[in-house]
């Protein structure tokens, strides 16, 4: 929603004094929440640094992120980053989580079924326009690194098609907007609320250039250097050049405070502040809660749920100690190998030129001059590398797998001897088991996004909205929906968890059903419409000789139902009688109690004509075979 600052008269008549109080209270509340959340913020920054490869930093006693120095100048500080590939592997697996979101019809009534189908089309269209795969990928990334991320679902008044102009301003039909939000920007009223619904208010604060604020709100605020992560105007965190930091120049902290409806404010409140200016004050804008109530425009997604805590946990937090130990072991191991290859020389004091010897060492062909009577320089004997290094390295590598739940089945020494496809598949399923909890959280968060999308359409759509959707055969089709299509937000997930029931397993199940003959009709043959769906599920829809004709017949029959009911309709030469009989019969059964006698008669006569022609065609086929 486009937010504009209200005049003093509109702000309950309190004038400038009221505005100053609201700004002061909002900024004070934000700073209080910021101070309470600082320990989580430091952990997130540490996670980001370790993911990016800066793994020699830590949080000191003051809560500052500092980089550790070498104890000795010769110590190696190489980074052997195992955290990044683990997170990347988890993200790759979670990218397969693409649930089929369906809307459950309120009844078997044909209008309810049609509206449920249109509601699914609304969700599909919104996901496509908002580039949901990219938005979901960014949310998954923040969730995996920091433990929590958010979807923000808004209504953009300037989105969608242009309808015309009014009072010199362009008017658009409006559209849903879905944005990824990092946990650095979200401040709940209580850190002990486990869900967004448990919160009484939520603050969304972020660093925004003052030009953007001016363009959106028409208000000029003073700009400063703002730390994106810490959201502080004067960043007091001590960091080296390698630690993650990001500062926006000439910016301000934009604070959006959302308050749930209360007895004092039945419609809730939304307050937007930047600098010392009030940008917006009014009711909570979205009726996106249960039963049309006003609620927050956020959906939370966690990597690992935290008990009794608003923010979730990241697997990186568990991997950091292992990563530190692994880096230490690898570096000490390399230092030991350097000693073995380069050697340590013992020289009697004053026996030779130490500067020359330190600079060149014992180079091949070097003429070494040492004092007469002194002991010649010699290399110190070094013991061979103890096996403890290799053993500890292997143990740490196994700990990475144990903690993260991510293993490379193909490269594992224990699995290298396996040749059975069933055994390898079982190992892959076991590898995915620990990720199913997070995958289920991702699925449920997308379900929450779908609910809020339908509720926003129900609130803001006026008249008829055109929805353009591509079918399974890449054909663009246009559907028309109104508020009734979004009236029902009873959404559910039709598909199973993609990490427990892979596409390969689905195709295998479909093939078994086909071989068993369960999908065949009474005559022992598979219907063309069923064949079309089976080929699509198997990924071979291009092999369908009908090229989606069965589905088009179904849609044509569905569009005829109301016309037959009211006026009657003759059958056409191109109609597939079997499909039309099924669709018209389904309509009669679903609307039977609502149909008048004359309407039933018209429908029965139409179905009878299809049956007679189908019977004649079968008789002709039998005669030709004889």
Higher pLDDT, 189 or 226: 189
Task: Identify the CA nearest to 187 among candidates 155, 150, 217, 224.
Answer: 150
Whether the predicted pLDDT of 433 surpasses 80? no
Does residue 203 carry a pLDDT above 50? yes
Q: Are strands 345-346 and 378-379 parallel, antiparallel or unpaired?
A: antiparallel
Domain assignment of residue 556, yes or no = no
Q: Are 599 and 565 in contact (CB under 8 A)?
A: yes
pLDDT, averaged across the chain: 81
- What is the radius of gyration, based on Cα positions, of the chain? 34
The answer to which of 215-219, 473-477, 599-603 has the lowest mean pLDDT is 473-477
Domain range for residue 54?
15-75+131-316
Does any domain span residue 206? yes
Q: What is the DSSP string of 543-569?
A: G-TTTTHHHHHHHHHHHHHHHHHHT--
Q: Is the pTM of this model over 0.85?
A: no
Strands 476-481 and 491-493: unpaired
Selection from 92, 122, 33, 31 nearest residue 455 by Cα: 122
What is the pLDDT averaged over residues 401-426? 60
- pLDDT at residue 233, as a whole number: 54
- What's the pLDDT score for residue 410? 45
Lowest-confidence region among 457-461, 544-548, 595-599? 544-548
Compute the average pLDDT of residues 299-327: 92
Does residue 540 fall inside a structural domain?
Answer: no
Neighbouring C-alpha atoms within 13 Å toward the C-beta of 125 = 23
Residue 343 pLDDT: 66
**521 domain residue, yes or no:** no
Sign of the Cα pseudo-torsion (225, 231, 234, 235, in order): negative
263 belongs to a structural domain: yes
**How far from each other are the two terminal CA atoms of the chain, in whole angstroms?**
71
571 CB-contact burial (10 Å; exposed 0-12 / middle 13-18 / buried 19+): middle
The sign one gets for the Cα dihedral 59, 62, 67, 69 is negative
Q: Does position 505 have pLDDT exceeding 90, yes or no? A: no
Across 86-90, average pLDDT: 92
Taking the C-alpha atoms of residue 421 and residue 427, their distance in angstroms, rounded to an integer, is 10
pLDDT at 160: 82
How many domains does the chain fold into?
A: 1
* Tens digit of each residue's pLDDT (9 = 90 or more) over 339-373: 776 667 777 777 777 777 667 666 666 777 777 77
- Is residue 302 classed as helix, strand or coil in its secondary structure? strand
What pLDDT was estimated at residue 5? Answer: 42
Does residue 115 have a pLDDT over 80?
A: yes
Taking only the tens place, the pLDDT of each residue in 249-260 is 889 999 999 999
**DSSP letters spanning 400-440:** HHHHH----GGG-TTTTT---HHHHHHHHHHHHHTTHHHHH
Q: Specify the pairing of strand 269-274 against strand 247-259.
A: antiparallel
pLDDT at 240 over 50: no
pLDDT classification of 310: cutoffs 50, 70, 90: very high
Per-residue three-class SS string for 466-477: EEEEECCCCCEE
SS3 194: coil
pLDDT tier at 133, thresholds 50, 70, 90? very high
- pLDDT score recorded for residue 198: 92
pLDDT band with cut points at 50, 70 and 90 for residue 428? low
Left (φ > 0), alpha (ψ -120 to 50) or beta: where does 450 sit? alpha
**pLDDT of amino acid 234:** 47
Return the pLDDT at 455: 93
Distances (CA, A) of 332 to 41, 72, 78, 89, 336: 32, 13, 10, 28, 6
Say how many CA atoms lie within 13 Å of 402 toward its Cβ.
Answer: 7
Phi/psi at 317 (5° precision)? -60, -35
Contacts of 141 (CB under 8 A, 6+ apart): 91, 149
Q: Which of 242, 241, 113, 258 is nearest to 188 (CA)?
A: 258
291-300 pLDDT per residue, tens: 889 999 999 9
The predicted-structure confidence for 1-34, as pLDDT tens digits, reads as follows: 444 444 434 444 457 889 899 999 999 999 999 9
d(CA 278, CA 24): 10
Compute the average pLDDT of residues 383-406.
83
Q: pLDDT value at position 475?
A: 61
| CB-based burial label for 290 (10 Å; 0-12, 13-18, 19+) | exposed
pLDDT at site 2: 44
Residues 6+ apart with CB under 8 A from 266: none
Tell me whether residue 181 is in a domain: yes
- From the list 184, 154, 147, 221, the residue with the least C-alpha distance to 34 is 184
User: CA 27 to CA 4: how far, in whole Å?
Assistant: 19
What confidence tens digit (pLDDT) does each residue in 57-84 have? 888 777 677 777 666 666 778 889 999 9
- C-alpha 361/C-alpha 368 separation (Å) is 10
Q: What percent of the chain has pLDDT over 90?
A: 33
pLDDT score of 235 more than 60: no
Rounded Cα distance between 621 and 626, Å, is 9
> 168: helix, coil or strand?
coil
Alpha helix (H) residue ranges in 103-158: 110-129, 132-146
CA dist 404 and 88 (Å) reads 12
Task: Look at residue 56 and tell me if it is in a domain.
Answer: yes
Identify the pLDDT of residue 7.
Answer: 40
Q: Is residue 211 part of a domain?
A: yes
Q: By the 8 A CB rule, do 447 and 99 touch?
A: yes
């Amino acid at each position: 929603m486009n937010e504009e600052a209200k005049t003093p008269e509109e702000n309950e008549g309190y004038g400038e004094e009221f505005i100053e109080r609201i700004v002061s209270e909002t900024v004070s509340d934000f700073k209080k929440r910021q101070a309470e959340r600082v320990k989580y913020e430091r952990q997130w920054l540490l996670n980001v640094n370790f993911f990016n490869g800066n793994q020699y930093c830590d949080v000191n006693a003051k809560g500052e992120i500092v980089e550790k120095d070498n104890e000795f100048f010769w110590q190696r500080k190489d980074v052997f980053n195992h955290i990044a590939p683990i997170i990347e592997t988890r993200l790759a697996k979670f990218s397969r989580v693409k649930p089929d979101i369906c809307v459950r019809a309120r009844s078997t009534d044909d209008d309810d079924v049609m509206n449920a189908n249109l509601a699914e089309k609304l969700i599909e269209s919104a996901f496509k326009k908002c580039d949901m795969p990219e938005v979901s990928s960014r949310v998954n990334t923040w969730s995996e690194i920091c433990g929590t991320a958010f979807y923000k679902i808004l209504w953009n008044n300037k989105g969608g098609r242009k309808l015309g102009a009014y009072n010199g301003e362009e008017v658009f039909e409006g559209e849903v907007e879905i944005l990824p939000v990092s946990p650095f920007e979200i401040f709940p009223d209580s850190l002990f609320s486990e869900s967004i619904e448990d919160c009484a208010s939520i603050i969304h604060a972020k660093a925004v250039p003052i030009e953007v604020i001016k363009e959106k709100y028409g208000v000029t605020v003073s700009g400063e250097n703002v730390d994106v992560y810490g959201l502080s105007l004067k960043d007091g965190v001590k960091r080296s050049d390698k630690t993650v930091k990001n500062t926006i120049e000439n910016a301000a902290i934009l604070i959006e405070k959302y308050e749930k409806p209360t007895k004092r404010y039945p419609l809730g409140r939304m307050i937007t502040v930047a600098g010392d200016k009030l940008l917006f004050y009014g009711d909570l804008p979205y009726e996106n809660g249960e039963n049309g109530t006003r609620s927050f425009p956020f959906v939370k997604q966690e990597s690992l749920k935290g008990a009794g805590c608003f923010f979730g946990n990241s697997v990186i937090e568990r991997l950091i100690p292992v990563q530190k130990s692994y880096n230490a072991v690898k570096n000490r191991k390399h230092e030991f190998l350097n000693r073995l290859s380069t050697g340590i020389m013992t020289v009697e004091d004053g026996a030779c030129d130490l500067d020359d010897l330190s600079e060149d060492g014992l180079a091949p062909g070097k003429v070494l001059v040492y004092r007469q009577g002194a002991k010649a320089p010699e290399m110190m004997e070094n013991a061979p590398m103890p096996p403890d290094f290799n053993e500890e390295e292997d143990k740490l590598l196994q700990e990475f797998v144990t903690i993260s739940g991510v293993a490379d089945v193909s490269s594992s020494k224990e699995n290298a001897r396996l040749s059975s496809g069933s055994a390898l598949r079982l190992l892959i399923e076991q590898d995915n088991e620990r990720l199913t909890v997070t995958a289920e959280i991702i699925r449920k968060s997308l379900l929450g996004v779908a609910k809020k999308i339908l509720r926003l359409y129900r609130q803001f759509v006026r008249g008829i909205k055109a929805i353009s959707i591509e079918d399974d055969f890449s054909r663009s089709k246009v559907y028309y929906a109104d508020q009734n299509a979004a009236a029902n937000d009873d959404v559910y997930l039709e598909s199973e968890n993609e990490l427990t029931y892979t596409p390969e397993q689905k195709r295998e199940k479909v093939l078994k059903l086909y071989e068993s003959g369960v999908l065949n009709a009474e005559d022992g043959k598979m219907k063309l419409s069923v064949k079309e769906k089976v080929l699509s599920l198997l990924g071979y829809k291009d092999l369908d000789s009908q090229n989606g004709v069965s589905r088009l017949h179904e849609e044509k029959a569905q569009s005829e139902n109301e016309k037959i009911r009211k006026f009657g309709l003759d059958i056409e030469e191109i109609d597939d009688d079997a499909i039309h009989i099924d669709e018209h019969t389904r309509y009669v059964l679903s609307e039977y109690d609502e149909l008048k006698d004359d309407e039933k008669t018209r429908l029965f006569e139409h179905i009878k004509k299809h049956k007679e022609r189908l019977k004649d065609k079968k008789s002709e086929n039998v005669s030709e075979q004889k």
